[in-house]
Amino acid sequence: MLCGIDEAGRGCIAGDLVVAGCIFLENTPNISGLNDSKKITEKKRYQLYDSVTASTQYHIVTKSPQEIDEKGISVCMREALEEIKSQLNAKEYLFDGNTTFGVKDLKTMVKADGKVPEVSAASILAKVTHDRNIVAEAQNYPEYGFEKHKGYGTAPHIASIQKHGYSPIHRQSYKIKALQPSLFDSL
């Protein structure tokens, strides 16, 4: 029995980090359309989310921007991976990517989210959860446009930080090059 694991939001400058693990239930029919969550439309991801939750044993871990700022992204990733392993009993654990973050008995595979159905399913759970969370936060902080960029460091997002400063859901420990003073600023 394989537990597929993937994350969403690791590269964001705002919002939660979400890590999901999935094990397909026995006698579950194949879920049509599974793929890397970034390669399917938002509408399709939301449709697949319900199929995945109905067909898997799963666990989703969310780490807040404050936890990320306090502990660092690598520690948060390690804690989330360890929590998934403690909550989902599998013979093998496969994480999308190339690092285990120091977690024992965890295998990795680059682009597993597009190759291994269990990891694709985890990818969808993580991405939909991440996006739902940050879209909900967009209502509290409409000036940042979180519903459009989902917390990633797009040019409009960085421009909104320059104009309004950081919100409580920004990862203030992340150094954003465009927001750093230049050597020429002091001349």
User: How is residue 114 written in tokens?
Assistant: 């597009």
186: pLDDT strictly greater than 60: no
Q: Domain ranges for the chain, please list them.
A: 2-186
Domain range 2-186, its CATH number among 3.40.50.720, 3.30.420.10, 3.40.390.10, 3.30.1490.20: 3.30.420.10
pLDDT tens, residue by residue, 49-82: 999 999 999 999 999 999 999 999 999 999 999 9
**pLDDT the model gives residue 8:** 96
**Amino acid at residue number 140:** N
**What's the pLDDT band for 37 if we cut at 50, 70, 90?**
confident
- The whole-chain average pLDDT of the chain stands at 92
For residue 50, what are its two tokens?
Answer: 């319900």
User: According to the model, what pLDDT value does residue 38 have?
Assistant: 85
What is the model's pLDDT at position 26? 85
Question: 9 in the Ramachandran plot: left (φ > 0), alpha (ψ -120 to 50) or beta?
Answer: left
pTM of the prediction? 0.91
Rounded to an integer, the average pLDDT of 131-158 is 94
Cβ atoms 65, 12 nearer than 8 A: no
pLDDT in tens, 74-100: 999 999 999 999 999 999 999 999 999
Structure tokens of 153?
């460091």
Kind and range of the H or E run holding 108: strand 107-109
Instruction: Kindly state the DSSP code that residue 170 receives in the 8-state scheme.
Output: B
